[in-house]
Structure 1
Amino acid sequence: MSFDPIDHDFERGLHNRRAILGDAWVERSLAGANSFNAEFQNLITRFAWNEIWGRPGLEQQTRRAIVLAITIALGRWEEFDLHVRAALLGSDTNRLTPDQLKEVLIQSAIYAGVPAANTAFTHAQVILREVGPQIGYELAPLTPYATWHPGIGHAARSAGQPALHYTIRAPRNGKVPRHTVVLSHALGCDLTMWDDLANLLAEDCRVIAYDHRGHGSSEAPAGMYSMADLANDAAALLRELDTGPVVWIGLSLGGMVGQELALRHPSLIQALVLAHTTSGYTETAREAWRQRIATVREGGIEAIADAVMGRYFHEQFRIEHAATVARFRRRVVSTDAAGYIACCHAVGAIDTTARLGAITAPTLVIAGELDQGTPVEMSRTLVDNIPCAQLKILAQASHLGYVEQPQAFTLAVREFIGAL
């Protein structure tokens, strides 16, 4: 058996060290080795850079974030500066963007303390000013008053009547939006039901979510509402925000509003996603909506809350995800009762079937195979009557299929938008 003079642990570690910190830094470090510290250099190259950084269990970007967080917590600022500079100038496989670096520092404020994060921001800004021209990044002036949570978006209320509460998420990639997407929620819900999808689509799209009149933080005008009222609300909001044609994603009530919006204001619609919705009810179903209104008038929304959850979610989901069901139940019962009743009137009276042929926008219809409120047959009616429509049926999904089957719902939406 021959002796191999190559120390493979050292060579592998040195390769990883160069990939993470850059050749220039490693060369300076090796050139500075001497009889006192050379063994230490050998040790950290083999153990830190081979034994740890050589493990495939975490992506290199994740390991960078871990190192930055630990050096912040321990106040190892020389090491922190080294890894910040290397992270910003790294390769495609291990680089952190300034925004990703910012997220590491902000999270460190909670777990390592605000003073440590404050020092980290000071150090990071010095390095960003140094390497900014190389990576195309500029530290531009920005007042704290003009910032908002990127996972929630900029919140505001429309100037029209009724005033609608809405949020806007700008594309996180900093580029011109690929599309403007509007998310329209179900009866008894609010814009927060869309948070996960909104944040995902905001990678490269401008995303607007809003509360229908009578819901969430939007106003609840007196009197009964029609679907035309709700569609005109949406149109006024989109024109106020100067959106141009949008990709409308509406679930249940939101899907009904989307149909009416596309018929009344076609110039505002680029494409439609109509999920778990219908274009009309039978007389028996209309009577059920009238009965729901009467029950809420007499006993409040609490009187129907359990029955609504039974329609929103199938039994197995209710058993396995009780906390999620409880969250939606709290939202439903806290909805303004008069606004809820007024929207129930609009839903029960919907009748767009005969006009669907006038919708020219590409349309994706999503149905839940277990949906009792808007069965698959209702979705087939939409597809049969909208000229450019396609149908996606979600397995093991009831009325809130986006909540029950988020991955399948999201995949269908992303594939549809990607083809526009």
Structure 2
Amino acid sequence: MDAHDHDYERGLRNRRAMLGDAWVDRSTTQSTAFNADFQNFITRYAWHEVWGRPGLAAKTRRVIVLAITCALGRWEEFELHLRAALAGGSGASLGAGDDAASALTPDEVRELLIQAAVYAGVPAANTGMAIAARLLRELGHELPLQPAGESGHPGCGRSRKSRGEPALHCTVREARSGRAAGTIVFSHALGADASMWDAVANRLAATHRVVCYDHRGHGDSAAPPGPYTMAQLTDDAAALLDELAFGPVLWVGLSLGGMVGQELALRAPQRLAALVIANSSARFDEAGREAWLQRIAAIESGGLETIADGTMARWFSEAFRRERPAEVARWRRRIVSNDARAYVAAGHAVREHDALDRLDGIRVPTLVIAGAADAGTPPAMSQAIAARIAGARLELMADVAHLSALEQPAAFSALIERFAAEVAAAVPR
């Protein structure tokens, strides 16, 4: 029989990988006749039999251990594993197909403890926060003071209202990386609001500061009497950018937001570093303008319910409506809960928008995105926009209708990420 204890050696390897050599050496070399059997037992049983299983990533097992020890108030064990998680152990692989990327960032520890507050109780999370703060300082992390009132939910951003008239509501997500590669401003479609960008904004906020705002007459922004003009909506956006003072931004506008982006690039190019026009139009033909008049008349006579189902058919592809009925129902509720007068007021701005013959004046880098199944602003409209703007690139997203950012947020985000990287690379150093 092989005298080599494979289970013990594998467990010891895993224990070192997760806790570091110094801790393991101290535990094993200082074992006594009293606890040597126990050290052997946990090395084989915990660190080989459990940690050695390839079914979960080592990082996931770290999170499980921290959550359980926090919930049970096993603070010595919690501190041991938290210190190792923040330091990254020894960096060695567990040898079970794991990529050894098991360290936790301070942000990940914070999220773990916030979730523990719900499921294990606030007192447990409070103690965990105190231990984590002490360890972070010991490990050289700076923890600058920040008033609790200035904290914003990272999944929807910190809300604020502009000082001008009309007061516009916006959310600001600071870059989770701590150093923003730039600022991206998202401008939504008619009848939607800033929340339509949540999935895209949260992904891009990993590296960028992200601003999402509500047009006048939408969401939590003020709704002055209409009709509105595209010039007014553009002035609103320009004033908001000036107040935020984040410098030239990457503007991402979908539908109505894309129209505002066109006007901003023409009238205030110094405010933009680059432009994305998604599922939009630069001009409606006579048939399109007549369709808008009919839509406005229907709302004025019967309210927003009269257009809700037709809007969902334009906004989302047939497959999406079939597979994601709850999501479609959510946005139908959004449509009918709008202020009908404000919707009509903004509808007039969309109907009257005409920038096609001026688009050759846009000089900022431009990406145009179209949805292959978009009946509201068909790909031909995007093609016409891209053809008029020097250097513009057109991307056609397959199997999506008008709200491409909602149907395929990951694919939409990837297009923005790639474009932002290209724009940044082109800036002289």
- Structure-1-length-normalised TM-score: 0.96
- SS of the aligned residue for 2:226 comes to coil
Tell me the residue number matched to 1:30.
Answer: 28
Q: Shift of the alpha carbon at 1:124? A: 2.2
Q: Is the Cα contact below 8 Å between 2:231 and 2:263 reproduced in 1?
A: yes
State yes or no: 1:155 paired with 2:183: no
Match of 2:78 among 60, 80, 85: 80
Match of 1:380 among 378, 383, 390: 383
Q: Shift of the alpha carbon at 1:142? A: 2.5
Q: Is the Cα contact below 8 Å between 2:370 and 2:378 reproduced in 1?
A: yes
Q: Is the Cα contact below 8 Å between 1:164 and 1:219 reproduced in 2?
A: yes
Q: Shift of the alpha carbon at 1:381? A: 0.2
State yes or no: 1:292 paired with 2:295: yes
State how many pairs are aligned. Answer: 413
Amino acid at match of 2:132: A
Match of 1:168 among 172, 175, 179: 172
State yes or no: 1:233 paired with 2:236: yes
**What do residues 367-397 of structure 1 show as CA deviations (whole Å, max 9, x unaligned)?**
1111100001111101111112111111110
- SS of the aligned residue for 2:253 comes to strand
Match of 2:363 among 360, 365, 368: 360
Q: Is the Cα contact below 8 Å between 2:197 and 2:406 reproduced in 1?
A: no
- SS of the aligned residue for 2:383 comes to helix
Distance in 2 (CA, whole Å) between partners of 1:57 and 1:239 is: 51
Kindly report which structure 2 residues correspond to 1:12-411, keeping only aligned pairs within 5 A, or say none. 12-90=10-88, 93-131=101-139, 133=140, 137-175=141-179, 177-411=180-414
Distance in 2 (CA, whole Å) between partners of 1:53 and 1:276 is: 49
Distance in 2 (CA, whole Å) between partners of 1:7 and 1:357 is: 75
Distance in 2 (CA, whole Å) between partners of 1:321 and 1:219 is: 31
Q: 381-390 vs 113-122, which deviates more?
A: 113-122
- SS of the aligned residue for 1:366 comes to strand
Q: Is the Cα contact below 8 Å between 2:204 and 2:413 reproduced in 1?
A: no
Distance in 2 (CA, whole Å) between partners of 1:303 and 1:171 is: 41
- SS of the aligned residue for 1:279 comes to coil
Q: Shift of the alpha carbon at 1:94? A: 2.0
- SS of the aligned residue for 1:160 comes to coil
Amino acid at match of 2:88: G
Amino acid at match of 1:109: A
Distance in 1 (CA, whole Å) between partners of 2:107 and 2:417 is: 24
Q: Is the Cα contact below 8 Å between 1:396 and 1:405 reproduced in 2?
A: no
Amino acid at match of 1:41: Q
Distance in 2 (CA, whole Å) between partners of 1:141 and 1:251 is: 38
Q: Shift of the alpha carbon at 1:289? A: 0.4
Q: Is the Cα contact below 8 Å between 1:165 and 1:211 reproduced in 2?
A: yes
Distance in 1 (CA, whole Å) between partners of 2:306 and 2:113 is: 47
Distance in 2 (CA, whole Å) between partners of 1:14 and 1:118 is: 33
Amino acid at match of 1:25: W
State yes or no: 1:417 paired with 2:420: yes
Distance in 1 (CA, whole Å) between partners of 2:313 and 2:372 is: 15
Structure 1 residue ranges without an equivalent (≥5) = none
Q: Shift of the alpha carbon at 1:54? A: 2.2
Distance in 1 (CA, whole Å) between partners of 2:322 and 2:372 is: 19
Q: Is the Cα contact below 8 Å between 2:185 and 2:212 reproduced in 1?
A: yes
Q: Is the Cα contact below 8 Å between 2:372 and 2:379 reproduced in 1?
A: yes
Amino acid at match of 1:148: G
Q: Shift of the alpha carbon at 1:199? A: 1.1
Identity of aligned residues (%): 56
- Structure-2-length-normalised TM-score: 0.94
- SS of the aligned residue for 2:191 comes to coil
**What do residues 220-265 of structure 1 show as CA deviations (whole Å, max 9, x unaligned)?**
1112111111111100000111121110111111111111111111
Change in Cα spacing, 1:140 to 1:243, as seen in structure 2 (3 Å) is: closer
Amino acid at match of 2:250: V
Distance in 2 (CA, whole Å) between partners of 1:78 and 1:282 is: 71
Q: Shift of the alpha carbon at 1:60? A: 2.2
Amino acid at match of 1:309: M
Q: Is the Cα contact below 8 Å between 1:165 and 1:210 reproduced in 2?
A: yes
Q: Shift of the alpha carbon at 1:36? A: 2.6
Q: Is the Cα contact below 8 Å between 1:178 and 1:205 reproduced in 2?
A: yes
Q: Shift of the alpha carbon at 1:37? A: 2.1
Amino acid at match of 1:229: Q
Question: What RMSD in Å do the two structures reach over aligned CA positions?
Answer: 1.3
Q: Is the Cα contact below 8 Å between 1:361 and 1:388 reproduced in 2?
A: no
Q: Shift of the alpha carbon at 1:171? A: 1.0
Q: 65-74 vs 112-121, which deviates more?
A: 112-121
Q: Shift of the alpha carbon at 1:361? A: 1.2
Distance in 2 (CA, whole Å) between partners of 1:141 and 1:182 is: 28
